[in-house]
Chains A and B, each alone.
Chain A
Amino acid sequence: MNRFNYVRPQSLAEALGAGSAPGAAFLAGGTNLLDLMKLGLAAPATLVDLARLPDLSAVETLASGAVRIGALVKNADLAHDKTFAAAFPAVAEALLSGASPQLRNAATVGGNILQRTRCPYFFDREAACNKRTPGSGCDAGGGETRTQAVLGWSTACTATHPSDFCVPLTALDAVVEIAGPDGLREMPLETLHRLPGDTPHVETALSEGEIILAVRLPAEAGQFAPRSRYLKVRDRTSYAFALVSAAAALVIKDGKIADVRLCLGGVAAKPWRAREAEAVLVGARPDAERFRAAAEAALSDARPVGGNGFKIELAKRVASRALLMAATGTPDRVPALPASPFSSRVHDGARV
C-alpha cells in the first residue's frame, strides 16, 4: 500500500471538500478499496473516510412510496431489514448470495455499486490492461475467458461487473442519488456503469469528487414483491462470484404477464437489463416456452470471448429459470442457500 493522508469528515460538505483534492478517494466499508490498495491497483493520496457522515445510513420510505437506501447502509443490514426484504425480496436475496457474512457486515450499498471488476487480467499487474493503463492493450482476449463478458464487450475490454446487488436493482429501475462539488444530481442505476467501448478505464458516469448518497427504488418496484427472485450459478455452493446470474420479477394478472423485469449478471461490464426479453413477455402467458423465447431474445446479441461461449447458453437457461422461479412466487423467507439452484424447484414441466 502507498502511504496516504487520512481525513474523517463529519459532514457531507466537509467530505466533498476533501474529496475534491487531487488523488482523493472515498473510503466506506473498505472491502474493495483496501484490497485494491494492497495490490497496488489503487493508490489514492488521500483517503476520505465516510464512516462518520450522518444521514447516509437510513432506509426510509418516502412520501411518494419510493424507498431510499442511504449509501452507507451495510449490505447485511439492508438484506435483514424485514420491511425492505418483504418489499424487494430479489434485492435481499441477491445481497445474501454475495460475498460472505463478514464482508456483508462491513460493505456498504454505495461500495457494492462501485466495486471494481474481478477480471484476472485487471489483477495481474504484469498483464496488459486498458483499465489499469489506458491504451496498453487487453491480455484477456487470448487468455482465460471463463469469467469474461458475452455482451457489450469491446476489443479493448471484456471485463464484467461482479455485483449481485446491482442486478435486481437495475431490473427494478433503481435511481442513484449523487452529490458532488457541483451539487446534487441523479441518474438511473442502469446508466451509472459504462460499457467499455474504447475507454474501459472510464467505468462509471461519476465525475471527480462525486459520491453516491443513496439509491432509490421507485414505488412501482414494490408491485413485484410477490413474484421476484434472484438466481446465481457458480462454481461452488457459496462464497464465489457468479458465473451467470439473473434477477426476474413478474406481475401476473388474469393468467397473463402484466409486467416483467429481467436483468442478467456476470455477462457484461454492467448489469444487463434485458428489455427485448421483457417485450416478448408482456401480455403473454407465463410458461416455460415463453420464458425460453424471452431468454433467447435477451442473449440475441451475445458474442463469445475465446472459449466462453457456454456462458451464452448458460445465461439463457439462467434467465428462463429465474423467470420460472419468479412466476412460482417469492418464498416466505430467503432460502437457506440464497439464489442457489439447490434452493428451489426445477420445474421442467410447462405448467407454472
Chain B
Amino acid sequence: MSDRPPLGTDVRRRHGSNIGQALTRLEGALKVTGRARFTADNTPPGLLYAVLAVSGIARGRLLALDVKAARSCPGVVEVMTCANRPPLAQDPDAKLDGFMFRLDLLQNDHIRYANQPIGVVIAESLEAAVEGAALLNPTYDSLPTRAGLDGEDSFIPPAVGAGSPAQVEVGDVADGLAAAAVRVEQVYETAAQYHNPLEPHSIVAAWDGDTLSIDTPSQALAMAQDRIADLFGIPKENILIRSPFLGGGFGSKAFMSGPQILGVLAARLVGRPIKLVLTRDQMFGPVGHRAPTRQSISLGTDGEGRLTAIRNHTRTATSAYDDFYESAADVVLNLYASPSIATSHEAVRLDIGTPTFMRAPGEAPGSLALESAMDEAAFACRVDPLDFRLRNYAEVEPKSGKPYSSKALRECYAEGARRFGWAKRPLSPRSMRDDAGLLVGWGVGTAAFPAGMFPANARAILTSEGRAVIEAGAHDMGQGALTALVQIAADSLGLPMDAVEFRSGRSDLPDAGIAGGSMHTASAGMAIHAAGQNVIAKLAQLAFDDERSPLKGAGNAGVAARQGRLYRVDDEQRSESFVDILKRAGLTELQAAGSAQEDPVNASLYAKQAHGAVFAEVKVDPDLCQIRTTRLVGVFAAGQIINPRLVRSQLYGGLIWGISLALHEAAITDPRSGRIMNADLGDYLIPVNADAPCLEVATIHEDDPYVNPLGIKGVGEIGITGTAGAIANAVWHATGVRPRRFPIRIEDLIAG
C-alpha cells in the first residue's frame, strides 16, 4: 500500500544503494500510455497477414485442404501447406537434447493433437486471411484418440522436469510406513492447465536474403536464435530477434513454438514481411501446457506427529511424439524432514500437444498434493497443521542432508501466523461461520522453490559524459527485469539510476540467460553486477596508473564508486570523477564484460531454496457450496530483495495463480474427440478481480552469500507453491469435505 518496503527488507548493502528500493517500474509510463510495443503492435511496410489453420481432430491424417478455395478468396496471396512450405535444414522432429521440443512445421500429413497447425493462409488484410483459412475445409482420416490418465500403457520416463531422475529413494520408505503409528494414503488429482498469457503467441518476421529480422515474445532470446539458426541452416548472426516486452510468458514463451516458426516460413515463402498472431483457441495445443497429474501420496508419522516416511507416486501424461514429464513428486524431496522419502513417476502418452514448463513446473501440482496430505496427517494426529509442519521442519535438505544456504522459514511461519491470526483456529472442521452464516475455513501451506542460476553475460560501458550503458539480452515479461536490473547496475557502477541506460530484449546483446525458473534476476543481475564491477575496476586502474590523478597508486588501498566518483577507501578526500578519469585518459568510453553462473562449490555444499508460508481463509456457502478465497497472507524469505514493490506484485501474482490452481483452471477434453471443449477465456476459468479480494504479502530478509554475492533468490514462482494447498486445506476446514480433485468444484462439496 505505501512506499515502505515490506518487513525486513531495509537492510541495505551500502548507504544510498538502489538495491532494496521500491522504485516504480521504469517502463511503467510506456505501459500505462499504451506506447509499450508488443509484437503484434508492429506493422512494417509491405506487411502481409498470416493466419494459422489448425486440426479439428486429435489423431490421424490430414487428407486434403481446399487450397484452391482459399487462394481464390479476394485478398489471399498464398497458402502454405505441407506441399509448398520452404525447406528446412533440420528435421522439425529432431531432438538433440532434453531442452528441445519437437515442432509441428507442416512436415507431413500426420495429425498428433487437436489444434495442431495444418496450414497458413497469407493475405493482404487480416479479414481476408481469416476468411481464407475458414475456406480450407480440411478433411481427415481420424483414429481413436487417447485421453485421460487411465491408459494401460504407462511407462517410467527416462527423466522428469528439467532432467531429474524419475525415481529417487532416501532411506527405506516401506519400513518407514510399516513403523508408522499414523498413516495417510490418498490420491490427489490435478487438471491439465494452459499458460494463457494474455498476449497470444505472435511473430512479425522479415527476410532480407539470408538474414532474418523477427519481433516475437521470447523468454530465451539466445536459445531461440540457436533453434532458428539450426532449423534454417543460417548463421546465428544472421538472425535478429526483438522482444522488448512480453505480454506474459509463464514458461510458454521459453521455447520457440511451431506457430512462431511457421511465421518465419511464411515470410520466406512470400518474400514479404508477415505478421502471424495466434487466436485464443489456438493457444490450447501448439504452445505447451501443464499435464494433469494423479498423485498417490503416503505419509507415515510416529506417535508425536513426526514423519517417518513420505512417498509420492505421480502419474502424468506426455504427447504421443515427444517427452516432457511434470515432476510433481519431487516436491517431497526438499521440504519436510523425514528419514525416508521416495518419489516415482510414470506416464502415459496421449494425443495432446507436448506439455512444457509452466509456472512452478512440478512444484505447483506437487505442492498442492503434499500440503493436502500433510494436513490430513496433521488432523489424523490431532495436531494443529502449522505445529505439525514445524514438528517436521527440515533443518537440512531432506534428500541430501546438505545444510541450507539460508532458510528463514520459521520466521515466515511466525510472521504469517501473526498477521493472519492463526492462533484462533479451531482444530475441527466445519466449526467457523461468519455473521452472514457462511462457512469459514483456515488453511496453511508451505512454499518453497529452488534458487538457482542460469549462466548469463552482460556488458557495461562507461561514457565520457559520466553515464553508463548496460547491455544484456534480458527479458521482461512483467516480473520487473527492466527496473530491478538497472538498480543492480547502478549500484555496481556507483552511478545514480538516471545515469544508466539499459539495453535489453534483443538477441544481438549478450546472452543474459533464460527468463525462467525464477532465476532471471539472479542470473542476469549477477552478470550485470560483474560487468559493472569490471568496468569500474578498469576505470580505477586508469586512475591508479595516472600521475595526475588523486587516486594514483591507490591500487592497494582500494577505491569505492559512488555518485559517479571513485573515492580512496582509506581517505575519502582523495577522489575523482569518472568523467575526469576518462577525459584525462583520452577515452570517449570504457567497456567491460561480465558473466555469472552458479558457484559449483556452493552448489555442492548447500541446498538453495526460497521459502514461505501461506495462510488462506475461504468462505463457502453451506448449501450452495460456492467458494471464495476471502483472505490470503503469504510471507516469504527470498534472500536480498532488489525491489520490494516489484516483488510484492510477483508474489501477488503467484498467490492468484494458487487460487486458480485450487479452484478454477482446468482444460476439459472430450475423450471421444481429444478436443478441448473450453479453449477460450470464458470457460477456461482464471480468477477475475473479485476472486482475490484480500491479498497480503511480506518478505523476510535473508543474508545469503552462498546463492550469489548479491544474495538474490527468485520470487516468480514461489507464490503458487503453498497457496493452492493452503486454500484446499481451508476448504476442508470450512466444510469437513476433503478435496482430492482439483480444481475444487461445487459438486465435490455437495456430494461430500
Contacts and interface: CB of A to CB of B under 8 A. Distances in A.
Asked if the two chains touch in their complex, CB atoms less than 8 Å apart, one says yes
Interface of A: 1-3, 40, 118, 120-121, 124-127, 139, 142-144, 233-241, 243, 310, 313-314, 317-318, 321, 337, 340-342, 344-348
The 6 closest A-B pairs by CB, nearest first: A346-B437, A310-B747, A237-B690, A341-B621, A126-B56, A120-B677
A121 B56 CA distance: 13
A343 to B, nearest CB: 9
Interface in B40-93: 56-57
Nearest to A320: B623
17 contacts: A118-B683, A120-B668, A120-B677, A120-B683, A124-B673, A126-B56, A126-B673, A139-B670, A143-B672, A144-B668, A234-B626, A238-B688, A317-B623, A341-B624, A342-B619, A346-B623, A348-B437
A342 B131 contact: no
B147 to A, nearest CB: 12
A235 B685 contact: yes
Main SS class of interface, B: loop
Given A234-B626, A310-B746, A346-B621, 6 more contacts: A124-B675, A124-B677, A127-B673, A139-B672, A238-B690, A239-B688
A89 B628 CA distance: 25
B745 interface: yes
Nearest to A142: B672
A118 B664 CA distance: 19
Contacts of A337: 690
Contacts of B134: 40
A43 to B, nearest CB: 10
Interface in B98-135: 127, 130-131, 134
A40 B53 CA distance: 14
B672 to A, nearest CB: 7
A342 B435 CA distance: 11
B331 to A, nearest CB: 27
A144 B685 CA distance: 16
A124 B663 CA distance: 25
Nearest to A314: B750
Interface string B697-737: 00000000000000000000000000000000000000000
A2 B131 contact: yes
B42 to A, nearest CB: 23
A237 B673 CA distance: 31
Given A143-B677, A344-B436, A1 B130 contact: yes
A310 B56 CA distance: 31
B69 to A, nearest CB: 13
A348 B439 CA distance: 11
Identify which of A40, A127, A234 gathers the most chain B CB atoms within 10 Å of its CB: A127
A342 B629 CA distance: 11
A233 B624 contact: yes
Nearest to A125: B56
Contacts of A139: 670, 672-673
A306 B619 CA distance: 30
Contacts, number: 103
B691 A237 contact: yes
Sorting the interface of chain B by its residue count into under 10, 10 to 19, 20 to 34 or 35 or more gives 35 or more
Main SS class of interface, A: loop
Nearest to B621: A341
B746 A314 contact: yes
A237 to B, nearest CB: 4
A128 B127 CA distance: 28
B622 interface: yes
Nearest to A349: B437
A342 B628 contact: yes
Nearest to B128: A3
Nearest to A239: B688
B659 to A, nearest CB: 9
B438 interface: yes
Nearest to B692: A237
A233 B622 CA distance: 13
B438 A342 contact: yes
A345 B751 CA distance: 23
Nearest to B134: A40
B667 to A, nearest CB: 11
B678 interface: yes
B564 interface: no
A317 B624 contact: yes
A345 B624 CA distance: 12
Nearest to B683: A120
Interface string B418-451: 0000000000000000001110000000000000
Contacts of A340: 626
Contacts of B625: 314
Nearest to A309: B747
Given A127-B673, A317-B624, A236 B687 contact: yes
Contacts of A235: 664, 685, 745-746
A321 B624 contact: yes
A101 to B, nearest CB: 11
Given A236-B685, A346-B436, A318 B624 contact: yes
Contacts of B745: 235
B413 to A, nearest CB: 29
A223 B57 CA distance: 55
A348 B437 CA distance: 8
Contacts of A118: 682-683
Contacts of B621: 341-342, 346
A332 B677 CA distance: 41
A54 to B, nearest CB: 32
B468 to A, nearest CB: 45
Contacts of A321: 623-624
Contacts of A344: 436
A36 to B, nearest CB: 13
Contact of A120 (B678, B688, B690): B678
A126 B438 contact: no
B198 to A, nearest CB: 15
Nearest to B436: A345
Nearest to B434: A346
B624 A314 contact: yes
A116 to B, nearest CB: 14
Contacts of A318: 624
A118 B678 CA distance: 11
Contact of A144 (B438, B670, B747): B670
A234 B625 CA distance: 10
Nearest to A147: B683
Contacts of B130: 1
A254 B472 CA distance: 78
Contacts of B691: 236-238
A317 B622 CA distance: 10
Contact of B685 (A120, A124, A233, A240): A240
A139 to B, nearest CB: 8
Contacts of A236: 663-664, 685, 687-688, 690-691
A71 B683 CA distance: 28
A144 B130 CA distance: 29
Contacts of A238: 688-691
Contacts of A313: 750
Interface string B651-693: 0000000000001100010101101011000110101111100
Contacts of A142: 672
Contacts of B628: 237, 342
B194 to A, nearest CB: 16
